[in-house]
Chains A and B, each alone.
Chain A
């Protein structure tokens, strides 16, 4: 139980930005001279550049991973989350030995199989059968292992009828099914998975998740899972790691990690709202965080016109304050503070109840606003909406960008403006 499967110590990975290969012979010599002859550190690895893709650094050298250390217990399912470019894929690539670290040591107990992509090495001219053997071998299986599991693999993939057809004739769904089936039957102690579940139809995705669950819970194997699908990560993993700009920001239970991540990436303007001083009200109930969440269950600052949006409110309250008589009003306004759309909870059929965690959500199935930027404000009161009953009122707590979409299914995007869109048709 308490045996470590993976131990990572001070792992770092350096990348060179911009062009590689032209005019670097002299640099190569310089580097060679410094590192090999003088035994010094690489002169081009300037210390202290973390990987923030949004700002321009002073050097072409970037630490994609910087000084990461962690342990993973045997049998754990660990979800790795973080924004694009946080170093998740680099970490997986190093763990699966596709590329090697610049510094640091990784120690591994057991065989590692990695699934950075399904169907790596599939050859279009070969039949499904031949590709199962080929792909299995690429992933590190011995021939007899594959032979033993062959029927199981075909069964899982559900493409038995086409097994002797070249895979170039497969539909893309069948292709992925077959590929995942091979990978799912790897007999390794550690499985590394990178976002492969974003493919296939809903039924197959469910099957994959189920299979991965079996692998980690049932068979006691260690799973490392990278995904932007927070829902899937939550469902599958007990442990989590949150990477930010190449550094390990948080590691712990998955729920805590996800919360940390969502809070960190939520659409905040300026100061965190729990520290805002310009609020009105008696403070019996106070908002901590407001998070915009899109259809994919991701925290976001942008949404397509007409798309699904969920707003998550996290609040604090004083001990003896019940919330069943809480009234929440919230609104989106344009930049001139004209209210565009608003909701008040007491007009709506919902009763707030005490929950373990102090949060509630507002679901908007269709966010029918024209493309533009909207500010979010809220007002929490109890019993009535009169000013003497205000608990917490704050304006412009967050901004959401609405992006243009083909709202009317006309083949054209709707124009930008700060107004509401209603479905309508000319006759």
Chain B
């Protein structure tokens, strides 16, 4: 036989290199990503009366409760900002991050049925999750903007700073950080279910370790380094500074948050890709 170049469109092997991430495949399936996003959005409000209004309910009530408990009862400083605005800004941003983690961390379990029956790049699923959460975030962010405008009219001392240009970047950081952590957890939970118990309350506890209900500079000196280990702290602080003009805006902090994000994200994607090939057998 002649030594003709054998052309095969696909080669399936047991072992593939750690970094064959198949981003090309992901790109080919981009339509599917949009379909999933659409599905999540539509199925969220089907057969509800209030529909998308439900997106507002959770942040509004959380803000009210926080203002009452932490603001009025405990009297924790809000950096001189109106309490509603202070909490709402933190909650809006935090919700996005927290949703990204909790939803991606169960991605294998929630979709075991589909994953077991048909192939598509598994990464599509978590990517669609962070995208549909983005819509939710967008709606809640709009609420925040309305409040911001209202308090501005009222003559409160809030002002948008130039750091607002960083806003898209902050969103990206939160998305990738949430995705990275979520992917790592999702990969581990296919084998060790224990972790899934940790996620929901772990994320809740982490919220108290982030500057959601207090400003960073109000933290006691000796514990401050603990808060600064948490990359979300810098992202939230920068977010507040950008829109409300108050908060720590350290460039070092953002660089630190960026590097942690990149490391966790890459690690997450690699371990996720490693798991996806055989998880059907173990879940």
Contact = CB atoms under 8 A, between A and B. Distances in A.
Interface string B162-191: 000000000000000000000000000001
A138 B34 CA distance: 11
Given A21-B191, A21-B282, A125 B120 contact: no
B46 A108 contact: no
A114 B113 CA distance: 15
Contacts of A137: 29, 31-32, 35
Interface string A81-101: 000000000000111111111
Nearest to B42: A126
A24 B12 contact: no
A134 B35 contact: yes
B274 to A, nearest CB: 11
B125 to A, nearest CB: 11
B220 interface: no
Interface in B205-240: none
Nearest to A183: B118
B9 to A, nearest CB: 5
Interface in B13-29: 13-14, 29
A93 B280 contact: yes
B159 interface: no
Chain B interface size, as a band, is 35 or more
A99 B31 contact: no
Contacts of A134: 35-36, 39
Given A24-B191, A102-B14, A107-B10, A125 B281 contact: no
A123 B11 CA distance: 32
A40 B95 CA distance: 47
A220 interface: no
B29 A140 contact: yes
Nearest to B31: A143
Contacts of A98: 115-119, 280
Given A109-B9, A130-B42, A134-B39, A96 B14 contact: no
A21 B120 contact: no
A138 B47 contact: no
A94 B119 CA distance: 10
Given A101-B12, A110-B9, A138-B114, A166 B29 contact: no
Given A97-B119, A101-B14, A142 B8 contact: no
Given A15-B281, A98-B118, A108 B42 contact: no
B277 interface: yes
A97 B9 CA distance: 14
Contact of B39 (A20, A93, A95, A130): A130
A104 interface: yes
A133 interface: yes
A103 interface: yes
Contact of A133 (B10, B13, B35): B35
Contacts of B118: 96, 98, 114, 116-117, 120-121, 138-139
B51 to A, nearest CB: 13
A420 interface: no
A362 interface: no
A137 B14 CA distance: 26
A106 interface: yes
A353 interface: no
B43 interface: yes
A326 B135 CA distance: 80
B14 A104 contact: yes
A36 to B, nearest CB: 11
Contacts of B8: 7, 107-109
Contacts of A109: 7-9
B278 interface: yes
B54 interface: no
A137 B32 CA distance: 5
Given A15-B281, A114-B118, A138 B13 contact: no
Interface string B225-261: 0000000000000000000000000000000000000
Contact of B117 (A100, A103, A116, A166): A116
A191 interface: no
B271 to A, nearest CB: 14
Interface string B264-283: 00000000000001101110
Given A120-B114, A138-B120, A20 B191 contact: yes
Interface string A369-413: 000000000000000000000000000000000000000000000
Contacts of B12: 94-95, 97, 100-101, 105-108
The 3 A-B residue pairs with the shortest CB-CB distance in the complex, in nearest-first order: A97-B119, A137-B32, A100-B277
Given A21-B193, A98-B117, 18 more contacts: A16-B281, A20-B281, A21-B282, A94-B12, A98-B118, A98-B119, A99-B278, A100-B12, A101-B12, A107-B10, A107-B12, A108-B8, A117-B118, A120-B113, A125-B42, A126-B42, A126-B43, A137-B35
